[in-house]
Amino acid sequence: MKSVFSVFILFFIVAAGFCQQVTISGTVQEEGSKESLIGVNIFDKVTEKGTVSNRFGYFSYTTESDSVDLYISYVGFKTQRIQLTSIQDTVLNVALIADGELAEVVVSAQDMDRIQEVNRMSTIDVPIHHIKELPALLGEVDVIKVLQLLPGVQSGTEGASGLYVRGGGPDQNLILLDGVPIYNASHLFGFFSVFNADALNNVELIKGGFPSRFGGRLSSVVDVTMREGNMEKIKGEGSIGIISSKVTVDGPIQKGKTSFLVSARRTYLDLLARPLIKAFSGGDENSGYYFYDLNGKVNHKIDDRNRLYFSVYKGDDKAYNKYSSYYVNNNIRTDYDDAYGIRWGNFISALRWNNVINNKLFSNYTFTYSKYHFDLFSDYYEKVDDGVNTSVTEYTERYFSGIRDWAGKVDFDYVPNPDHYIRFGANVISHKFSPGVYVTKGSGISDMKEGSEELNSTEYAIYIEDDIAVTDKLKANLGAHYSGFMTEGKHFQSLQPRIAARYLVNGSTSIKASYVKMAQYIHLLTNAGLGLPTDLWVPATAAIGPQKATQVGLGIARSYRGFEISLEGYYKTMDGLIEYRDGATYLNVDENWENKVAVGEGRSYGLELLIQKKIGKISGWLGYTLSKTDRQFEEINFGKWYPYKYDRRHDISLALTHEWKDNKDFSLAWVYGTGNAFSLPSLRYEAPDREDNNSWYYNNEVEYYESRNNFRNRDYHRLDLSFSWWKTKKWGERKWTLAIYNVYNRRNPFFMDLGYDNNGNKKVVQYSLFPFIPSVTYGFKF
């Protein structure tokens, strides 16, 4: 009874304390458009404490003071000051004005988003305007290309849009668009990504110290949020480039209540090349390649406490060749069509409901459907007509694979006081995997279907985390992520602790550390080579378990005269990695994929330096990475450790933008990296002649590989420049952008292979892809 009584006394003491507190909550939006702003800092100068807005612009701040002096600040916007006295629980809907629209307002608030103040590490927010301003290949602004310029992030090969983060593979990145995973974020065989920057609101990259709310991947989180649409007036923007055009339109359906956003992009190389191809083939052949993206979003404000969002994305690639012709022989006409090609693409949709339960508790409910598909096709059609009878022969071959997800998720943000920001929630995903099926149909033959059977799996997770201020100097993000995966009667489970902390040494410097465990229940079967979309998504099974990783990090962060400087070291181990055995490919459809792979482990460690300047006429960053990544499989390389294909010892990137006049800007990007690893034979010899004299195998040459990835490419480096100028018109604004990719025409290695010199002797040959490439883009806003 004494224990129970003590608990009640403690409860009433705590409740009485909360009764004396006052909570200020609300939303932060952009003035004019009423779009939510993510990660806005709300700082109270009275208490020297504050909070931030969540991904939907909502914030909550609780204080025991009878007055507040709030500074609401966000990069790229004018800081707003709000003073309140004799306060009570208050709802504030704050509208920030974009920088440059009004004369400068001088304020004296502390800059609360300084890098040393944030307890999370290995996290970078990339402003959308930087993404748009940096030079782009063929004028195609690309989110993933910009992320590749950050320390700890590498591209796979020249021009590719894959991400290799801290030694991980492209399947180990959780790439989210409005909270929905995208399984293949590439267009044009990996050279461009699926993200249209004009439709985006925020991009965040997390490389380590993962918060508990994220899970399901080992190496990184790329959290991309679409814009919500202008609540006040119709606006639009777009561009016309060398290989593609795009347009984005948004505005109110009902002013102040409901908004929409529609964005579209398409390449037209196939349309431009079609007349040339037909001219050279005599009109019989038609081939080409194109991709497109469609984004849509509807945002409806039910009331001040409830809001609905519905967003969709559809994108596809198609490369094809079609040959059509006919011939006449002895008055018999034969017409035929022969077509083959490759298609792949994504579809995602998400329905969200935001609900402000009270001034300290915010909830978000999300329901999603997504699908990724890949399809190799070959179709043949023949019609024979002798004037009396007609016969038709049809034959179709297809190889297709994909993954389909239904998912539901609930997230809560609870802010009891400025010393705690608690997040908790749960999610469940119903996966349907199609690991690879080969189908043939045709006239006069029996239909045939070979390959792996479809698999249904269920993945679930629950999490809790707390951003806690232990003392004025020590802050931490503490949490746990528990997940499970059920498939083929097997139930995998994983409890993953997450810890990230920072200790403030002084007002400008802090020390940071993190420890995380991650689990991933899906694998990507990837072929060596160019990383084409023939890669197949497969689940963990009773025979092939999940991937797991442990990562620790230690770093220092400092602000100095407008610059943010961070130096981080990390060590990561990975288990349960898979790779095709030697000689195995996705085309071995008569064999189950589980029998074609080897299971192994990996490790990666390194140092990363980032010097960044976010505001001012000149902004950008300098990044440097020193790292080493290895793999080990019992059935590959004699069971010995070997360098990962994308192991790169040194990586340097410089990205700068300069607004040197009111209507002109200049940007550059320079990258340098030591060579990736690849395999070449170190010896070759002639095997003894075969006894079979009917064989063509005389003097059979054997090549000996001493180890896997035993050679290195040449160093890679490249300079890109961009110059833009714009002018205000009666109807809006027009903008011209001139960009140059690979300014000094460096012949960088795309891949290396064995070839022959003029005397017929074997030699190593480098194949390069992109030379000096200029481009021009016309942009517009209205």
Cβ neighbours, 10 Å, residue 125: 14
**Residue pair 731/677 in contact by the 8 Å Cβ criterion:** no
pLDDT at 587: 58
- Report how far residue 430's alpha carbon sits from residue 457's, in angstroms, rounded to the nearest whole number: 6
Mean pLDDT of 130-148: 84
Contacts of 287 (CB under 8 A, 6+ apart): 273, 277, 320, 321, 322
Q: How far is CA 659 from CA 45, 352, 665, in A?
A: 32, 38, 4
**Residue pair 595/560 in contact by the 8 Å Cβ criterion:** no
Residue range 740-758, pLDDT digits in tens: 999 999 988 877 777 777 7
pLDDT at 697: 45
According to DSSP, residue 534 is labeled T
**Residue pair 409/366 in contact by the 8 Å Cβ criterion:** yes
Q: Which domains does the chain have, with CATH numbers?
A: 20-113 (2.60.40.1120), 123-676+713-781 (2.40.170.20)
Mean pLDDT of 542-554: 94
**pTM of the complete model:** 0.86
Mean pLDDT of 351-375: 94
Sign of CA dihedral 572, 576, 578, 582: positive
Mean pLDDT of 155-180: 83
- Most confident residue range from 83-92, 295-304, 443-452: 295-304
Lowest pLDDT segment from 68-77, 175-184, 542-551, 702-711: 702-711
More confident residue, 526 or 416: 416
More confident residue, 316 or 679: 316
pLDDT at 17: 43
**Residue pair 609/557 in contact by the 8 Å Cβ criterion:** no
Mean pLDDT of 113-127: 78
Mean pLDDT of 236-253: 92
pLDDT at 126: 83
Task: Say yes or no to pLDDT of 102 above 70.
Answer: no
Residue range 185-217, pLDDT digits in tens: 888 766 788 888 889 988 999 999 999 999 999
Residue range 563-589, pLDDT digits in tens: 899 999 999 999 999 888 766 665 565
Q: Provide the pLDDT confidence category of residue 353 given band limits of 50, 70 and 90.
A: very high
Q: How far is CA 554 from CA 62, 188, 209, 572, in A?
A: 32, 38, 10, 12
pLDDT at 415: 92
Average pLDDT, the chain: 84
Q: Provide the pLDDT confidence category of residue 108 given band limits of 50, 70 and 90.
A: very low
